Structure 1
Amino acid sequence: MRTGFALAVAAFFAITQPVLAAGADAMPDTDEMIISAEGHDLSEFKWLKRPVVVLANNPADPRYVQQMELITERLDVLAERDVVVITDTDPAAKTAIREQLRARDFMVVLLSKEGTIVLRKPFPWDVRELSRAIDKLPLRQQEYRDRRDMLRR
């Protein structure tokens, strides 16, 4: 059991380190974008960020490891969309976020800036699909129009 966990953690860092080192200037700060659910509440992100919550019952869960690999490979895409990734791999901690989302087993949840749940998936989701779901949101479309109008001035 411990060997599996150690292998999962080693694989996660082996994959994320080259990605972060290769584009250190272009990549957003992982510490600011990927945070633990412990000590946080979803209401603190309302109107500021779009939370993507990744929940699992164990950090060695292959679905969790795969999801975090997918996210860390494309952090820049998520940063453009004001995303914060919140992770929770300890059901015993009973974090406020886990209780708010009524989590069971592995789950990926995307919330809007308004605080509403946009989607829940019981399997890993590619960043491309997450960004498409975000780009369909009315507030994101308004942000895009506002940026485009500012560039025209």
Structure 2
Amino acid sequence: MTLASLAFFTFTASFGAAQGAETPDTLDETIRPAGESTLDEFLWVKRPLVVFADNPADPRYVQQMQLISERLDALEDRDVVVITDTDPAADSPIRHELRARGFMFVLIAKDGTILLRKPAPWDVREISRSIDKQPLRKQEVRDRRALPDQ
């Protein structure tokens, strides 16, 4: 068994139990399966980063999830929720809305605008740069700096 396979099986085992168990209470989870979630749940609250694949063993999916897991703190700091969908047969509302085919990831702004749609894995550093260029993110950083130290 390769290291990638081991990481994949560990990853899917921890999230497989949560499949289909999404409720508004799980909005705080940073990585979650798509299930019956809709993008409207995250409007003005989180920046969805949706990672699609037709199979959880897709090497591009495994690589993307490894890249995300290595720098999850950078995404959490930017109010990102990672939504995974590796079951085309389930036709989740998010998969249907974004018309996903094969591997791809989609980064969506808090206002619902699609910022990125990529057919290959991307490093979290590049994803973070794309978020940091957005006016709302710049305002969030300014607001955070204006707060007194706590």
Measured against the shorter chain, the TM-score band is 0.7 to 0.9
Q: Which has the higher helix share?
A: 1
Q: Return the TM-score normalized by structure 1.
A: 0.81
State yes or no: 1:122 paired with 2:94: no
Structure 2 Cα separation of the partners of residues 36 and 125 of structure 1: 19
SS at match of 1:125: coil
Alpha-carbon shift at residue 32 of structure 1 (Å): 1.1
Q: Return the TM-score normalized by structure 2.
A: 0.83
The one-letter amino acid paired with 2:6 is A
Q: Show structure 1 runs of 5+ residues with no match.
A: 16-30
Return the match for 2:46 from 38, 43, 49.
49
State yes or no: 1:151 paired with 2:144: no
Name the counterpart of 1:10: 6
State yes or no: 1:103 paired with 2:100: yes
Name the counterpart of 1:89: 86
Identity value in percent: 66
Output aligned runs, 1:18-37, within 5 Å.
32-37=29-34
Structure 2 Cα separation of the partners of residues 124 and 133 of structure 1: 14
State yes or no: 1:75 paired with 2:72: yes
Structure 2 Cα separation of the partners of residues 47 and 34 of structure 1: 18
Do the aligned partners of 2:67 and 2:124 also contact (CA within 8 Å) in 1? yes
Count of residues in correspondence between the two structures: 134
Name the counterpart of 1:63: 60
The structure 1 segments of at least 4 consecutive aligned residues displaced by more than 6 Å after TM superposition are none
Structure 2 Cα separation of the partners of residues 151 and 123 of structure 1: 41
Report the aligned-residue RMSD: 2.2
Do the aligned partners of 1:8 and 1:60 also contact (CA within 8 Å) in 2? no
Over 3 Å counting, the alpha-carbon distance change for 1:42 and 1:9 in structure 2 is farther
Q: Show structure 2 runs of 5+ residues with no match.
A: 12-27
The one-letter amino acid paired with 1:53 is V
Alpha-carbon shift at residue 11 of structure 1 (Å): 2.7
Alpha-carbon shift at residue 88 of structure 1 (Å): 0.2
Alpha-carbon shift at residue 75 of structure 1 (Å): 0.6
Structure 2 Cα separation of the partners of residues 8 and 38 of structure 1: 25
State yes or no: 1:138 paired with 2:105: no
Do the aligned partners of 1:39 and 1:95 also contact (CA within 8 Å) in 2? yes
Name the counterpart of 2:14: none
